[in-house]
């Protein structure tokens, strides 16, 4: 499938091409710190509540795009409770106020390759992403997609798969631009991206990203608590 070359509007997952990531004149707190770097933090089982809160903030249409159906609160609760953090990887992007504005789930699909032809095509991992309205227009979905590619390679996956509604053109174009093969079946589509093997560099990049994001989160967390303490101290009689 040939990638479309038009300048696509931002979709509801915050997807943009790298050239469109400026996001200037937007007063919302920006999740990035240094130019070109977005701190993507590893999320674990202790973060289930925050992941659930993030997904419940999605409106009805956003839930439809994220899950492929109009997920109810109960269905989202079941989904979050079923995430296997020992098998899968979950990533998040926080804004400057430590609000979780974007989440990606990289789920293992052992032994399943394109066309369902089993282990002959190697191990695949499925990518899903959601971005709140406050975090859109900055290419966060794309950054999480790129981050997931590195982690899938490091997990020795041969393919990254995205299951999306056919109407979610921007999401599928992101995959196509990365070289994925798009398979459409009526209202649904699957994008299969063949991955190169992991390298020492891909593992170093992943580790540095995780360490940097965690350190920045801790600095912001401590700064916020110091500020709260100072306000309480000033306000006390």
Which SS3 state, helix, strand or coil, does residue 49 take? helix
Give pLDDT, residue 229.
53
Segment 154-180 mean pLDDT = 90
pLDDT bin (cut points 50, 70, 90) of residue 217 is: confident
- Where do the domains of the chain lie, and which CATH numbers do they carry? 30-235 (3.40.630.30)
> Does pLDDT of 42 surpass 90?
yes
pLDDT of residue 62: 92
How many residues are recorded in the chain?
237
Q: In degrees, to the nearest 5, what angle opens at C-alpha 206 toward C-alphas 203 and 212? A: 135
Confidence of residue 235 (pLDDT cuts 50, 70, 90): low
Side by side, the strands of the sheet bearing 181-185 are 41-43, 89-94, 100-109, 124-131, 159-165, 188-194, 181-185
Residue 49 scores a pLDDT above 50: yes
Instruction: Give the pLDDT confidence score for residue 110 in this predicted structure.
Output: 66
Both tokens assigned to 126:
């499925």
Q: How much is the mean pLDDT over the chain?
A: 80
Residue for token digits 């967390």?
Answer: 221
pLDDT tens-digit series, residues 117-136: 444 456 899 999 999 998 88
> In this structure, are strands 124-131 and 159-165 parallel, antiparallel, or unpaired?
parallel
pLDDT-above-70 percentage for the chain = 74
Token representation of residue 71 = 């997920």
CA angle 176, 182, 183 (to 5 degrees): 175
DSSP-assigned states of every residue in 50-103:
HHHHHHHTS-HHHHHHHHSS---HHHHHHHHHH--TTTSEEEEEE-TT--EEEE
Q: What is the pTM of this model?
A: 0.75
Task: Report which of residues 213 and 28 the model is more confident about.
Answer: 213
């Amino acid at each position: 499938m040939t990638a479309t070359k038009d300048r696509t509007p931002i979709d509801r997952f915050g997807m943009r091409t790298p050239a469109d990531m400026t996001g200037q004149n937007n007063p919302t707190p920006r999740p990035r710190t240094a130019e070109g770097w977005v701190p993507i933090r590893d999320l674990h089982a202790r973060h289930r509540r925050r992941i659930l809160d993030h997904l419940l903030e999605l409106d009805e249409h956003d839930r439809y795009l994220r899950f492929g159906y109009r997920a109810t609160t109960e269905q989202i609760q079941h989904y979050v409770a079923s995430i296997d953090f020992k098998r899968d990887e979950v990533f998040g992007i926080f804004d400057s106020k430590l609000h979780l504005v974007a989440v990606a789930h990289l789920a293992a699909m052992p032994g399943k390759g394109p066309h369902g032809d089993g282990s002959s095509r190697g191990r695949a991992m499925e990518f899903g992403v959601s971005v709140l309205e406050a975090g859109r227009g900055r290419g966060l979905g794309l950054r999480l997609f790129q981050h997931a590619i590195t982690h899938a390679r490091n997990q020795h996956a041969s393919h990254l798969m995205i299951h999306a509604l056919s109407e979610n053109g921007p999401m599928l174009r992101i995959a196509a631009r990365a070289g994925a093969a798009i398979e459409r079946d009526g209202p649904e589509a699957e994008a299969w991206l063949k991955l190169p093997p992991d390298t020492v560099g891909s593992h170093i990049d992943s580790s540095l990203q995780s360490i940097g994001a965690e350190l920045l989160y801790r600095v912001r967390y401590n700064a916020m608590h110091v500020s709260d303490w100072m306000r309480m101290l000033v306000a006390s009689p």
